[in-house]
Amino acid sequence: MEMTDFLNKILDFFLPPRCKICGKVISDNNGLCPECFQQISFISTPYCAKCGRPFFEAPHNHNLLCGCCAHEKKSLFRMNRAAVCYDDASKNLLLGLKFFDKTDNVPLLAKWLKLGGQDIFNAGVDLIIPTPLHYLRLVKRHYNQSALLAHELSKLTGIEVNYSALIRSRYTKPQVSFSGKARIKNVKNAFYVKHPQDVCGKRILLIDDVMTTGSTLKECALVLKKAGAKSVDSLTVARTFKD
């Protein structure tokens, strides 16, 4: 344990826990006050069995696919899941983790990942892999938020994490500066598998904080499949939905 972690633990012992969104003092250490918790849109059934897109009308059977997945012949992914919708309420926690060193949001968000990924864990996972950052961005930001989430999720599930098999070889501009097709182009050939023997024949779970168009996750899945991964799933804390 680092000294700062140690001091924070001591402080936490004396200071009451606070809501991670509004900062209000809360009675238990669940992370959010009841009001802020209510604002979070957790994704629950019914949703597409493959891509996890919520259905607005309940289908009769649970194995239904959305229009896109029903027509797609070959998909890179076995399943895509996200715990919550990306909206004003969840944004706060995720941006805090990504840009403002709010790494103490990780345990709460990892708990959400475990809940949101139930279908994936039931189907079986051999290895967790976080979406990698380019080393220059890692130097600038000091940590990879996806790796922190993967580490915590591994503690909750007992599934091993690999931080070095998948590498971001090209320095790309943040996806947020592009839209649609430009995002696909931006991350094209940005990743490679350094140690194919680590992923070959394995059921891989890719972890990221947010899924928007899915271009980054798709590009990662593509190289993992090429390296011989048996299946690839994606699990993100949040996801945007556009119709």
Decide if residue 110 touches Zn ion (CB under 5 A). Answer: no
Give the separation between CA 20 and CA 32, rounded to whole angstroms: 6
For Zn ion, the binding residue among 40, 69, 138, 167 (CB under 5 A) is 69
Of 48 and 97, which has the nearer Cβ to Zn ion?
48
Q: Nearest distance from residue 222's CB to Zn ion, in Å? A: 19
Decide if residue 33 touches Zn ion (CB under 5 A). Answer: yes
Of 79 and 128, which has the nearer Cβ to Zn ion?
79
Of 36 and 166, which has the nearer Cβ to Zn ion?
36
Of 10 and 68, which has the nearer Cβ to Zn ion?
68
Of 39 and 157, which has the nearer Cβ to Zn ion?
39
E-strand ranges in 169-217 read 191-193, 203-211
Residue 12, classed as helix, strand or coil, is: helix
Binding positions for Zn ion, 6-25, rule CB under 5 A: 19, 21-22
Query: Considering only 65-73, 153-161, 191-199, 225-233, which stretch makes contact with Zn ion by CB under 5 A?
Result: 65-73
For Zn ion, the binding residue among 43, 48, 133, 187 (CB under 5 A) is 48
Query: Considering only 68-76, 141-149, 163-171, 226-234, which stretch makes contact with Zn ion by CB under 5 A?
Result: 68-76
Query: Considering only 27-35, 101-109, 148-156, 203-211, which stretch makes contact with Zn ion by CB under 5 A?
Result: 27-35
**What single string gives the DSSP state of each residue in 66-129?**
-HHHHH-S--S-S-EEEEEE-SHHHHHHHHHHHHS--GGGHHHHHHHHHHHTHHHHHH--SEEE
Instruction: Write the CB contacts of 201 (distance below 8 Å, at least 6 apart in sequence).
Output: 228, 229, 230
- Containing 145, the helix (H) or strand (E) segment is helix 145-157
For Zn ion, the binding residue among 66, 106, 204, 220 (CB under 5 A) is 66
For Zn ion, the binding residue among 31, 43, 47, 51 (CB under 5 A) is 51
Decide if residue 36 touches Zn ion (CB under 5 A). Answer: yes
Residue type, 239: R
- Spatial contact of 32 and 24, defined as CB atoms under 8 Å apart: no
Q: Give backbone dihedrals phi and psi of 234, rounded to 5 degrees, phi first.
A: -120, 140
Give the separation between CA 41 and CA 38, rounded to whole angstroms: 8
Please report, as ranges, the residues that interact with Zn ion according to CB under 5 A: 19, 21-22, 33, 36, 48, 50-51, 66, 69
